[in-house]
Chains A and B, each alone.
Chain A
Amino acid sequence: MTRRLLFGNEAFCEGAIAAGVRFYAGYPITPATEIAETMSRRMPEVGGTYVQMEDELGAAAALMGASSAGVKSATASAGPGMALIQNEIGQAIAAECPMVIINVQRAGPGIGNATRSGQMEFMQTRYGTNGEAPAVALAPSTVEEAFWLTAKAVNLSEMLRTVVVVLGDGLLGLQRAVVDLPDSYDTVEKVERPRPTVGPDAWRGNYTANEIHEIPAMADFGSPYKSIVSTVGLFKRGGGDSTVEGLDVNDQEFTIRRLHEKILSRRAEITLTEQMMTDDAEVVYVAYGTQALSAIAAMHEARAAGIRAGVLRLITVWPFPSDIVRAACANARAVVVPEMNLGQAQLMVGHALANTDTRVAGVNHVDSTFITPAEILARTKEMLQ
């Protein structure tokens, strides 16, 4: 291991590079700008490409171009930039074009408060794009985890042929921490998308799938295969050249469900969570991202005060691990969800615990300050009364 002092925003970059990202298209936006700055320096060093696009939409679209050529690609943005990117996220999910989007969340709607942090795009990550698209998102809590989860995001995007969002926030992106990185990135796992195993003549296109959970092979542009990266093509499940002909509503049904099922059927592989002292917990803190650190501190304080508290830290936040939430909180009287929004993950936790006797409450900040362990503890005592 090599010990280094890294910015959170640098850790995202190094994780992406370690997993093989060699194309980064960016557009400066606070608090994600250092990712573009770092990548502009690092990409050419590792033989990759940095391009600064005219806007975030263009950046996300450029990723689709590079990824179609078989090059692992990433971009980062925040706030209103993420609103623009939703257009291309949906496009890439439907076209099953792997890419990674790092969202260093700022606070507030519209241009919001650029220099301040939030967790306000939790639901946008899932439901932000049009047309019933699935989401995969990982939420790191620390700078070191930002490295590993960005690498993981790249691998998941390739494995699943979809867009994976790394859901960070300004408090993570703009903090410095001492982290241990691998001595060589050669040792970091690198997953490749499924590529054609038949010759060009037998090849039936990027969307040829017979099973509902299937991830079809994808041909690189410039290879001997005719590769169509398209949403129109995917509604014709048989693939082939004339993909805009004869749209079939049954194929549409199959394909939209398949986009979800290819992810949901692999939940066991892609769901990462961490549980601390949940076995005997009377109160469980379900937390993610930077605010999970407060939850962990609150757990220790509660235990010291004789309250049996536990933490369920969500690392894979989408698809939402409802089963794990239900299992971890089954014996608890109360669940507290601390988050820097007005209760977005709390909605999902409440949904997971529907028809149980467990009560769910939030501790919510929208002023961009860290939620303190004391606040979580106070809410705990209220709920256990």
Chain B
Amino acid sequence: MTAVANVGGAARPRKQIDTPMDEMVAAYASVPDRSFRYCPGCGLGMAQSAILRAFDRLKLDISKVATAGGSGCYAPMGHYFKSSHIHGSHGRACAYATGLKLARPELTVLTLQGDGDSLSIGGNHFIHAARRNIDITVICFNNFGFGDTGGQFGPTTPRGSVTETSNAGMPEAAFDACKLAIGAGASYVARSTVAHPAHLTKMIADAIEWKGFAFVEVLQNCHVFWGRRNGMPQAMDMLKFYKENAVRSSDTPEDAWFDIPVYAENEKNVKFVLGVLHKEARAEFCDEYAKLRAAAMAKSGEARP
């Protein structure tokens, strides 16, 4: 797709014409026998659709795409694409993806993870995959807590939130997932929400195209657990909340044409800043290892004895 550099401008580009959905589904999706396993109104459907559209925009050969995930509300998602998928234990997706990408660097590898999965139980694997700058795309569906187990607080739950394990209000501070990714060495970091599907699709497509560790935080509505106990019991309540509180930086031309207001200086820390938050090309791990391997093979003259 073509991004129109129009920093701060009011005019929007022509509407992106996607491939018809049925063709996209035929090429990339694996439709379940019965219903999708998300709660009614869950944002994961929008996120899944954005990933599907990103595959289509990049015209990926789906047999060369692999995903890895663990436990959480998002866990069925890996089964809903035609790509191969590791549905492993809770939190290890970045480690699965690391092994997979090193073994088959020609594959496009994504992890599908929740906020608890990637930042709590899998935090160690996440930061070290970022540090290595291995060419995988980590997509983190952030629903502000543990939804799959019925709405307990997690590492991204805002302080003060009422959850099943914080009835008097969440006493801990939350992670800013993007800041963590940047600090750990991710070379592409972006944030979007399920209320901004066009923007989300672009962030994901750019992340997949990016050579190196790419991280996309997808703010997602969980009106069923988090929203219900924090004043937003309907899906639309949370989607409106994201719409009304989303701002974008003016620094990145990539997301300039989306209908998201540029933040004022005093909004930066109180609103959701969307868009590409960090982008810095640096040496990629598989490439570096390939050089090391080539040198070692040349020196040893193949396996001894």
Chain A interface (Cβ < 8 Å from any Cβ of B): 2, 4, 17, 22-23, 25, 41, 44-49, 51, 53-55, 57-59, 61-71, 73, 87-88, 91, 95, 181-185, 219, 221-233, 240-246
Contact = CB atoms under 8 A, between A and B. Distances in A.
A53 B299 CA distance: 26
Most A CB contacts (10 A, CB to CB) among B88, B106, B124, B125 go to: B88
Contact of B92 (A57, A69, A244): A57
Contacts of A241: 30, 32, 79
Interface residues of B, number: 51
B48 to A, nearest CB: 14
Nearest to A224: B63
Given A65-B97, A222-B63, A226-B30, 6 more contacts: A44-B289, A230-B86, A230-B88, A232-B87, A233-B87, A240-B33
B96 A55 contact: no
A222 B106 contact: yes
Interface in B87-130: 87-89, 92, 95-104, 106-107, 124-125, 127-128
B124 A54 contact: yes
A54 B128 contact: yes
Interface in B52-90: 63-64, 66, 68, 75-76, 78-79, 82-89
A244 B84 contact: no
Nearest to B86: A229
Contacts of B100: 65-66, 68-69, 221
Contacts of A245: 32-34, 37
Interface of B: 30-34, 37, 63-64, 66, 68, 75-76, 78-79, 82-89, 92, 95-104, 106-107, 124-125, 127-128, 289, 292-293, 295-297, 299-300, 302-305
A226 B300 CA distance: 37
Contact of B95 (A47, A62, A242): A62
12 contacts: A45-B302, A47-B293, A49-B289, A54-B95, A54-B125, A57-B95, A58-B125, A61-B125, A66-B102, A71-B104, A88-B88, A221-B84
Top 10 nearest A-B pairs (CB, nearest first) are: A65-B99, A62-B99, A61-B95, A65-B100, A44-B296, A230-B87, A66-B103, A242-B32, A61-B92, A45-B300
Most B CB contacts (10 A, CB to CB) among A51, A91, A221, A232 go to: A221
Contact of A45 (B33, B86, B95, B297): B297
A141 B32 CA distance: 51
A58 B68 CA distance: 14
Nearest to B299: A45
Contacts of B128: 53-54, 58
B129 to A, nearest CB: 9
Contacts, number: 188
A276 B63 CA distance: 54
Given A183-B305, A222-B106, A226-B30, A64 B300 contact: no
B98 A242 contact: no
Contact of B103 (A46, A59, A65, A184): A65
Contacts of B95: 53-54, 57-59, 61-62, 65
Contact of A182 (B33, B75, B305): B305
A229 B124 contact: no
A226 B95 CA distance: 21
A45 B85 contact: no
A272 to B, nearest CB: 25
A48 B290 CA distance: 10
A130 to B, nearest CB: 10
Nearest to B89: A91
Contacts of B102: 23, 49, 51, 62, 65-66
Given A64-B99, A65-B95, A185-B305, A222 B32 contact: no
B30 A61 contact: no
Contacts of B125: 54, 58, 61
